[in-house]
Amino acid sequence: MKKKLAKKIALVTLGVTLIFTSFGFKSDFFEIAKQIEIFTTLFKEINMNYVDETNPAALMDTAIKAMLADLDPYTNYWNEQDVEAARINNAGEYTGIGATVQVIDNTLLIMEPYKNYPADKAGLKAGDEIIEVEGIKVADYSEDIAELLNGYADSEINLKYKRQGEIKTTQLTRSAIKLKAVPFYELLDEKTGYIVLSRFNAKASSETIRALKDLKNQGAKEIILDLRGNPGGLLTEAINVSNIFLPKGELITTTKSVIEKYNKAYQTQKEPIDTQIPLVVLVNGRSASASEIVAGAIQDLDRGVVVGARSFGKGLVQRPKELAYGTQLKITISRYYTPSGRCIQALNYAERDQDGKAIKRAVEDYNEFKTRNGRSVFDGGGISPDVKLETSEYSSITNALLAQNAIFDFATEYYYNNDLKNPESFEFTAEDFNNFKSFLKTSNFHYKTATEQELEELLAMASKEGYEQDILDHYKSISTEIEAQKKKELDEKKHEIVSILTDEIIKRYFYKEGLYEYYVENNPEILEAKSILKDTQRYSQILN
C-alpha cells in the first residue's frame, strides 16, 4: 500500500516538475529541479519506512505551510474549502447560517450574527460557543468545522452550543446570505452624506455609486466615506471606487515586481460620478490593502481629506494561482505604489529579528513624497491621515486586547448583565471602565511589552554566562515597575479602548445597523469629518 502511494506521489511530483518546465524561472532551473528531486525522494522514504503509519496529506500540508511561513503571511496555500471561501468573500454571497464565526479552544465562537438571517432568527448571540454540528463534536473534527455550517438553501442544521455555562440546542434553516459592500449610508443633515464601505468585493463600486447617487438626490453636497475596519479585497474594485471621485485616465496605483509582466500602471477607466463634491475619507489601523489604495489616491491627488489614524500598512499585491485538484496558491507577486510613488508597506518580511518576526521600518527611515498640491506624505507605514484622532488609534495594548478577545468577552458579560433600550442612550461610563479593568484581572488576559521581551532575553543570556544571580534582583525590580506602567497604560489609552468597547457593546443589542445609527450622532471621527466639511476654509487649507 505504501509503495503504491509513494509511486503515485512520485508521479504527481514528476508532473509538477514537467509543469514547472513550461514556465520561466526567476533563478537557476537546475537548482530548483535538484531541490524538487531531493524533496520527492525524502517524502517517499518517510512514507515507506517511518516506524508509524503516516498521513501523506497532513505531512505535505505541514511542509507547504512551513515553506510559505518563510515568505509573508499573505502567501498561502488554499485547499478546496479555502478556494470556495475566497470565492464567497469576493462575490459577497453564500448559503449558510448568517454569522461570522471563529475557531477558539475547540469550539466555534459566534462573533456576530447578521440581523434577520438564520442564526439570528434561531436566537444565537455573539459569544455563544458551538460545540456540536449535526452531532459532530467540534473538538473531534480535524477538518474545517466551520464549513459544516454552510450548505444548500432551505436545508436544516442542528446545533448544540454553550451560553454562559449552559448547554443549549437549536435548529436552523440555511438561507442565501448576501454580504453588502455598503451596509449603511445616510444623509446626516441637510447636506452631509455618509457612506460605509466595509469590503472590496465585486459589488463595492456599484453599491458605492448607488449610495452616492441616492444621497445626492436627497440633497447631499458633501460626502464622508468610511473605510475604517475595511480589510481590503479586489484591486480592480479599489480602482473603480477611486474612479467615482476622480476623472477618467487618472493614475491610481502602480505595481512593481522582479517579474516584468506584473509591473503595471492602473488608471481609472470610466467617467466619474462627481469630481468636485467635498470628500472626507475615514481610516484606522484596520483599514488595509484596497482601502489604503483608495485613501492613498485620494490623499496623493488632493481630492479629499483623510481623517482618523494611521492605516494598517499592507503594500503587497496577491494573485491566486491554480494548482492541482482544485487547490490554489495565493502568492504575493508585487508591491503597489500610490500616485506620488510611495509604497506604504509597514513590515519587511525579507528581514527578520532573532525571533523570526518581520522588521518594521523606523519612522526616521520613511521617505518623503509630495502630493499634487505639494504636501508632504511618507512611505513605509500605512496611510497617515491629514487629521489624526486618538479615538481611531490602535496601540500595542489595544491590539493585545483585541487579539485575545478581551474586549469581545467583556461585551458578552456586559450584554447579559445590563439592559439597553436604544443606542442613543448608551454611554460607557467611568464605572464601566473600572469594571472592565477588574474583568481583565480575573480573565486570562496577558500583555507582554517589547521591553519585557528584551529583559527576558537579557536574563536568558546572563544565565548562560553565569551572571543570572547578579542581575536577578534588578530584573525583578524592573519587572515590577513595568507592571505598574502597564496598568497606567490602560488609563492612558482609555480613549481608544472605550471607543472599541462602545462599538462592540452596541452591536450586541442593535446589530451593525444600530452601531451606524449611533455613529452618526456620537462618533468622534464622523463629528470631526462633519466639522471639516462645514468649514470650507479649513478644508481648503488642509489640502493646500
31 band by pLDDT with thresholds 50, 70 and 90: confident
| Cβ-proximal residues to 56 (8 Å cutoff; 6+ apart), any chain | 5, 9, 43, 47
| Cβ-proximal residues to 223 (8 Å cutoff; 6+ apart), any chain | 192, 193, 194, 195, 212, 215, 277, 278, 279, 280
Phi and psi of 192, rounded to 5°?
A: -105, 115
CATH 3.90.226.10 in the chain: give the residue spans.
184-393
CA distance 394 to 493: 9
The amino acid sitting at 221 is K
107 band by pLDDT with thresholds 50, 70 and 90: confident
Q: How far apart are the first and last CA of the chain?
A: 73
pLDDT at 140: 85
| Cβ-proximal residues to 247 (8 Å cutoff; 6+ apart), any chain | 268, 272, 275
Q: Which of 314, 330, 512, 530 is catalytic?
A: 314
pLDDT at 470: 62
Q: Which ranges of 146-287 does DSSP label H, i.e. alpha helix?
A: 204-217, 235-245
Region of poorest pLDDT, from 11-20, 219-228, 318-327, 406-415: 11-20
Cell numbers at 408, concatenated: 469581545
| Cβ-proximal residues to 511 (8 Å cutoff; 6+ apart), any chain | 114, 115
- Please identify which residue in the block is written with the cell numbers 464622523: 526
126 band by pLDDT with thresholds 50, 70 and 90: very high
CA distance 437 to 435: 5
Cα angle 92, 93, 98 (rounded to 5 degrees) comes to 105
Strands (E), 174-221: 175-178, 184-187, 192-196
Average of pLDDT values for 154-177? 95
CATH architecture of residue range(s) 184-393: Alpha-Beta Complex (3.90)
Average of pLDDT values for 209-236? 97
CATH class of the structural domain 93-178: mainly beta
- Do residues 436 and 501 make contact, with C-beta atoms less than 8 angstroms apart? yes
pLDDT at 69: 87
- Do residues 306 and 283 make contact, with C-beta atoms less than 8 angstroms apart? yes
**289 is a catalytic site residue:** yes
Assess whether pLDDT exceeds 60 at residue 443: yes
* Enclosing H/E stretch for 409: helix 406-417
CA distance 408 to 387: 29
Query: Coil, strand or helix: which one is 347?
Result: strand
196 band by pLDDT with thresholds 50, 70 and 90: very high
pLDDT at 505: 97
pLDDT at 13: 44
pLDDT at 378: 95
Q: Are strands 305-308 and 279-283 parallel, antiparallel or unpaired?
A: parallel
Nearest C-alpha neighbor of 333 from the set 319, 315, 350: 319
Average of pLDDT values for 4-32? 50
Q: Which of 72, 120, 128, 300 is catalytic?
A: 300
475 band by pLDDT with thresholds 50, 70 and 90: low
CA distance 445 to 403: 10
**Exposed, middle or buried: residue 64 (CB in 10 Å: 0-12, 13-18, 19+)?**
middle
CA distance 235 to 289: 8
- Do residues 426 and 505 make contact, with C-beta atoms less than 8 angstroms apart? yes
Assess whether pLDDT exceeds 80 at residue 77: yes
CA distance 393 to 308: 8
Q: Are strands 192-196 and 184-187 parallel, antiparallel or unpaired?
A: antiparallel
Provide the mean pLDDT of the chain.
Answer: 88
**314 is a catalytic site residue:** yes
**494 is a catalytic site residue:** no
CATH 2.30.42.10 in the chain: give the residue spans.
93-178
pLDDT at 15: 44
pLDDT at 445: 87
Assess whether pLDDT exceeds 80 at residue 446: yes
Question: What is the length of the chain?
Answer: 544
Cα angle 389, 391, 394 (rounded to 5 degrees) comes to 100
147 band by pLDDT with thresholds 50, 70 and 90: confident
Which pTM value belongs to this model? 0.85
- Do residues 201 and 92 make contact, with C-beta atoms less than 8 angstroms apart? yes
Instruction: 116-121: list long-range contacts, CB under 8 Å, 24+ apart.
Output: 117/175, 117/177, 118/172, 118/173, 118/174, 118/175, 119/172, 121/172
168 band by pLDDT with thresholds 50, 70 and 90: very high
pLDDT at 376: 97
What are the tens digits of pLDDT across the range 266-280? 999 999 999 999 999
- Do residues 529 and 536 make contact, with C-beta atoms less than 8 angstroms apart? no
Cell numbers at 150, concatenated: 454552510
Cell numbers at 282, concatenated: 475615514
What are the tens digits of pLDDT across the range 511-522? 999 999 999 999
Q: Which of 198, 289, 291, 311 is catalytic?
A: 289
Alpha-carbon distances, residue 66 vs 37, 76, 81, 193, 525 (angstroms): 18, 10, 20, 48, 41
**Sign for the pseudo-dihedral over CA of 279, 280, 282, 283:** positive
Average of pLDDT values for 412-431? 92
Q: Which ranges of 22-145 does DSSP label H, i.e. alpha helix?
A: 29-49, 56-68, 80-91, 118-121
16 band by pLDDT with thresholds 50, 70 and 90: very low
Nearest C-alpha neighbor of 111 from the set 506, 405, 401, 513: 405
DSSP state of 361: P
pLDDT at 448: 76
Cell numbers at 431, concatenated: 464605572
CA distance 445 to 188: 39
